[in-house]
Amino acid sequence: MRNLDIHSNFEEYKGIEELSASDQELFRSAVEARDKAYAPYSRFSVGAAVRLDNGLIITGNNQENAAYPSGMCAERVAIWSALSQHPGTKISKLFITARSEKKEVTRPVSPCGSCRQTLAECEIRQEQPIEVFFTGETGIILKASSVRDLLAFMFDNTLL
């Protein structure tokens, strides 16, 4: 037996003002999307904004359903919207933010496991890492330089 240490790396920003003007714009798009979420059941609104290689921004937000599992996360709405409208254009960045009606979200909101796997497929397919920024309503912003930092032992299609 031997131990394997797997490392992930994240950059931490104290506030939006530490980001580039372009990343601040992506953040504002995620906030705008978040505030249009349909989240009457959880009262937890998530916004996601994707930056394409050609500079375009595509957004998404969580869409809930009375049949709970039929709802969808903001990240997958944004990614699939980008992939379906702009097939062949690479995704360079994703910004995620969230707000709750129950309490202030002060910690970064990271994508759920299914969204990470979806992002992994996209990153592998486009052969280019996706930078993932995530934050709460207030507080620090974390940035992963690749989906690989968010999903150790990702399932990838070379196994099939």
Instruction: List residues binding ligand THU (CB under 6 A).
Output: 39, 42, 44, 46, 62, 64, 71, 73-75, 111-112, 115
Phi, psi for 91 (deg, rounded to 5):
-100, 125
Would you say 8 or 22 has its CB closer to ligand THU? 8
- Given a contact cutoff of 8 angstroms between Cβ atoms, the answer to whether 46 and 34 are in contact is yes
60, two tokens: 């998404």
Would you say 22 or 152 has its CB closer to ligand THU? 152
CB of 147 to ligand THU, least distance (A): 13
Q: Residues 11, 25, 75, 123: which is the catalytic one? A: 75
CB of 54 to ligand THU, least distance (A): 26
Burial of 110 (0-12, 13-18, 19+ CB in 10 A): middle
Whether 12 is a known active-site residue: answer no
Would you say 59 or 62 has its CB closer to ligand THU? 62
Would you say 51 or 62 has its CB closer to ligand THU? 62
CB of 112 to ligand THU, least distance (A): 4
CB of 5 to ligand THU, least distance (A): 27
The closest alpha carbon to 135, from 17, 55, 5, belongs to: 17
Question: Which residues are known catalytic residues?
Answer: 75
